[in-house]
Amino acid sequence: MRFPIGTALLSVVTMLSSAAGETQSVVHILVPGFTVQELPVKLSNLNNLRFAPDGRLTALGYDGRVHLLRDTDGDGLEDEDKLFWDKPTISVPVGMAWSRAGLYVSSNRKISLLRDTNRDGQADVEETIATNWPPTDVGSGSVDATAITLDKRGNIYFGLLTADYSNPYRVKDDVSHYDIHGKRGTIQKLSPDGKKMETIATGIRVPYTLAFNRRGDLFVTDQEGETWCPNGNPLDELNQIIPGRNYGFPPRHERWLPNLVSEAPVVAFGPQHQSTCGLVFNEPEARSGTNPGRKVFGPAWWEGDAFVAGESRGKIWRVRLDRTLRGYTGREFLIARLSMLTTDVAISPKGDLYVCCHSGQPDWGTGPRGAGKIFKISYTDNKAPQPLSTEARFKASKPDGGIATEIHVTFNRPVDVSITSRTAEMRLEFGEFVRAADRLEVLKPPYDAVKRQEASPRGFLKIRSARLEDRSRRLVLEADPIVLAVPHALTLVGVKRPGQSGEGDTVDLDVDMRSVEARLPKPAGVAESVASGASKSPQAEILAGGDFERGRELFTGDRLKCATCHRIRGEGGQVGPDLDTLISRDAAAVLRDIKEPSASINPDFVAYNVNWRDEELTGFIRSHNDIGLRLVGADGKEQVVPRAEIKQLRVSAVSLMPTGLLDGLGEAQVRDLLTFLLHAPPVRTSKEIQAALTPARPQSVAGEKPLSIVLVAGKQDHGPGQHDYPTWQKKWHALLTRARGVTISDAWEWPDAEQFQKANVIVFYFWNQDWNAERLHQLDEFQARGGGVVVLHSATIADKEPEQLALRFGLAAQPGPTKYLHAPFDLKFVAPASHPVTVNLPPHVRLLDEPYWPMFGDTNRIEILASTELEGKEWPMMWTFQAGKGRVFASIPSHYTWTLDDPLFRMLLLRGIAWAGGMEEAQFENLVEPEKVTR
């Protein structure tokens, strides 16, 4: 994002300092009047909190155990932990709900009812209420059934995760296997007797919590999916579940789901990557309810609001919901920042908010055996002034043409006048990704999107004066003019009631911009640092010089044996997580995951230790039943273990992935591996292709002349998908045959005399290791009479005397002096905007291919169409050249088959062929096939 403003409009424009250096407690409440206490109990990571009908706090462990907590000494903090369920039968549970019959739990492959039949305070019977729905596409024991809750009639509701969050249309071999009428990615309703199960909502991604409000309306938290699927849950969501509706994951797609109609979220939580999890409504309950006599948490006017937990950045929002004729509208208010992964919230009968957290780093923390914590948040000072609203407003225009800005903060009670003298300590920050109390954010989800958010510029507006109005209940701050329609966040200091001693509270608030944003410009451009002399991104530094193919060899080879367990882009085993999704993560986080595999354990791949006979087995549970379980070890081997012979089954405290994998590798080899893991062939959108098409489509091109094209190929000289000249020749022959007035012929390694005589354009794509005098003479004659030549990638190589080839092609390569690298790079278009080959294309196109540099030849004799930066210098990657009357179009990118299949690159090559043949650039654009773009 680029801020189109001058320094005169800002008192300060700078990047926020990192919060990592600040000393912080775990929970920071952003509004006054609250205290936080940690429960004095040692527990493993917890996924859910609920209060039992008798008022006891119930905690559902990530490891499948259920804890009942009690305050034994009367200090208001639960200090005793007794296990309600400790048998190893529940895997990756997310969701629990109390009923008169017992405790319902949703977990992998089943809905369980835990019953205490002998009333000793511990469940002794597990009854499977529902099971046998289709599994996810993840092969291990993973997060599956979630978010269980009950309505007043005893009907049971739960969610089933989408089949494949990273490939939601389930496309395989260019065919979508997604079934909108299937069970995956849905909300299910189960009758009280367990006999009838029906789908009530579709289009769900990761439903973490389902909850009814007092009106009987059902809501769910669902998580962001934009990282893996464009427009698929662009942000984390709070949705109202209306039977029969779809909720947009996967989203409408012109090819796979062209007629889909979906509901918009009630609230979308930004910026991207929050991981909404826990949800509870702040409503009092009658003495006969699930939580009899429960009081409201916080100020009385918070009644009816929802509280939502954001796991991956440690947040708690208060959500104000308003019911309208068209459904609910909502607005979120951030009330807490935490330095631990925040999974769930629950309100006690006394009206306190309890919060459970995982240890470790996002996304997943330290797994089932990691150390978790529970915090109790209490409203202890009801006389503290509470902010009701924070709004930006414009005053009358100033004499210099600017618009004065005021921020109005309205409180529920008077504020001490001393606050008006502390404007120098207050901050009004703005930026595309700014939110309240960003300085307290410690947890950083390991994704490129988050890195881009951090790199986006942030500015500060000076607060020039303050005054109190409306009997000291409204604080009015006059600030420098607001200049952009972006989020603004305010930090107040000295908030206290009149006459109160001390410094007062620091309060952090998001500013409501709705009344001013219509008159403000929106930011434009690409995110870039405002810091002068900004260096390359950490990602680029970590991966600099990494080679994709050398990384592939490490991944598939015997040294690391990554492919034994992991699959990526169709290569490798399926024991561990599929690594296709790594392309959205940042390099530092992936490197950490390899070096410290237990620092963040994927919930879809939790390992188990099985004590069987005299052996200790460790692996993933593929499936299990009353008879036995299927265990897959790190070596990829599967073993069936009879349940009757299992002495002990417990969740492993560590990842199945061994440590020390990178020991003995040099830095260059680590960069190679990361380059392979973190990059994939680019996928284009239909919008990108349509934008690049020339205005005059082929159907309207007048005066078309016949064109004879020869495609010259040779024997494939690299691995699969590389230098595959025969496949290219076959596919492009079929493609070009569809063009009007075109004759296509093939040649193997060199055209014959008749082809030279009849051809208008010859396309060379093979490594010709014999550029002898006779061949060069034939080429000279062809070009002298005006024949067009197209050379791709290795066709520019001359093993000997590359200068001679450069005289014909403009530039040439030679093994040895010319370097190469299999890596991602930006193809930067430097030709005039009207050039027929590059017209309408964006300034740069990202490719994963193999550049060559330096080349032999005089760059002053060619017209460079596109270049890329390597070793700190720009090198030509695509050019045109005039050899006599003949035209030459050359492209170094073309190493991989996926580049030749890329619609944007195909457009470039088709235009290059047309240009070399003296045709209109739009001659072949109907062959680009934008309608077949699958994203």
pLDDT tens digits, one per residue of 797-847: 999 999 999 999 999 999 999 999 999 999 999 999 999 999 999 999 999
Assign 291 a pLDDT band (cuts: 50, 70, 90).
low
pLDDT tens-digit readout, 842-861: 999 999 999 999 999 999 99
What is the token pair recorded at 586?
A: 């940042």
**Residue 145 to residues 98, 319, 507: CA-CA distances in angstroms?**
17, 26, 39
pLDDT at residue 553, as a whole number = 95
User: 773-784 vs 802-809: helix axis angle to the nearest 10?
Assistant: 10
pLDDT at residue 646, as a whole number = 87
Delimit the CATH 3.40.50.880 region(s) of the chain. 686-932
Instruction: Give the other-Cβ count within 10 Å of 922's Cβ.
Output: 21
Residue 16 has pLDDT above 70, yes or no: no
Out of 88-102, 513-527, 624-638, 866-880, least confident range: 513-527
- Cβ contacts of 544 within 8 Å, gap of 6 or more: 536, 671
pTM (predicted TM-score): 0.80
Kind of pairing, strands 43-44 and 371-379? antiparallel
Residue 354 has pLDDT above 50, yes or no: yes
Q: Which residue has 């599956």 as its token pair? A: 144
**Residue 47 to residues 13, 610, 839, 867: CA-CA distances in angstroms?**
41, 23, 54, 51
pLDDT at residue 3, as a whole number = 31
Residue 250, SS3? coil
Average pLDDT over residues 204-222: 98
pLDDT at residue 166, as a whole number = 86
Residue 696 has pLDDT above 70, yes or no: no
- Average confidence score pLDDT of the chain: 90
Residue 679 has pLDDT above 80, yes or no: yes
Residue 326 has pLDDT above 60, yes or no: yes
Q: Which residues pair with 827 in a beta bridge?
A: 845
* % of the chain surpassing 90 pLDDT: 75
Average pLDDT over residues 120-142: 89
Closest C-alpha to 368, from 358, 377, 376? 358
The three-state DSSP-derived secondary structure of 57-73 is EEEEECCCCEEEEECCC
pLDDT tens-digit readout, 518-575: 888 877 643 333 332 333 455 666 678 899 999 999 999 999 999 999 999 888 988 8
Distance, in Å, from the CA atom of 183 to the CA atom of 541, rounded to the nearest integer, reads 44
Q: Which residue has 């208060």 as its token pair? A: 318
pLDDT at residue 537, as a whole number = 53
Phi, psi (degrees; rounded to nearest 5) at 492: -100, 145
Q: Kindly report the CATH class assigned to 686-932.
A: alpha beta
Assign 272 a pLDDT band (cuts: 50, 70, 90).
very high
Kind of pairing, strands 788-792 and 761-765? parallel
Average pLDDT over residues 637-661: 88
| CATH superfamily of the 22-379 domain | TolB, C-terminal domain (2.120.10.30)
Out of 41-55, 289-303, 557-571, 884-898, least confident range: 289-303
Delimit the CATH 2.60.40.1220 region(s) of the chain. 384-519
Delimit the CATH 2.120.10.30 region(s) of the chain. 22-379
pLDDT at residue 397, as a whole number = 56
Contact 299, 345 (CB under 8 A): no
pLDDT tens-digit readout, 733-762: 999 999 988 999 999 999 999 999 999 999
The fold adopted by the segment(s) 384-519 is Immunoglobulin-like (2.60.40)
pLDDT tens-digit readout, 390-418: 999 988 655 544 467 899 999 999 999 99
**Residue 31 to residues 69, 308, 317, 379: CA-CA distances in angstroms?**
28, 16, 12, 11
Delimit the CATH 2.30.30.100 region(s) of the chain. 542-678
Compute CA 453 distance to the chain's CA centroid, rounded to the nearest angstrom: 12
Q: Which residue has 């989020």 as its token pair? A: 487
Amino acid at 404: A
pLDDT at residue 703, as a whole number = 47
Residue 626 has pLDDT above 80, yes or no: no
For 857-881, the DSSP string reads S-GGGSEEEEEEEETTEEEEEEEEE
Strands (E), 512-566: none
Q: Which position has the higher pLDDT, 866 or 593? A: 866
Q: Which position has the higher pLDDT, 460 or 17? A: 460
CATH number 3.10.129.10 given to 542-678: no
What is the token pair recorded at 676?
A: 């392979």
Instruction: Give the other-Cβ count within 10 Å of 52's Cβ.
Output: 15
Distance, in Å, from the CA atom of 543 to the CA atom of 548, rounded to the nearest integer, reads 10
pLDDT at residue 18, as a whole number = 33
Phi, psi (degrees; rounded to nearest 5) at 732: -75, -25
Out of 156-165, 212-221, 925-934, least confident range: 925-934
**Residue 479 to residues 13, 395, 506: CA-CA distances in angstroms?**
14, 11, 19
Out of 146-155, 390-399, 783-792, 915-924, least confident range: 390-399
Contact 161, 138 (CB under 8 A): no
Average pLDDT over residues 382-390: 97
Residue 363 preceded by cis peptide, ω within 30? yes
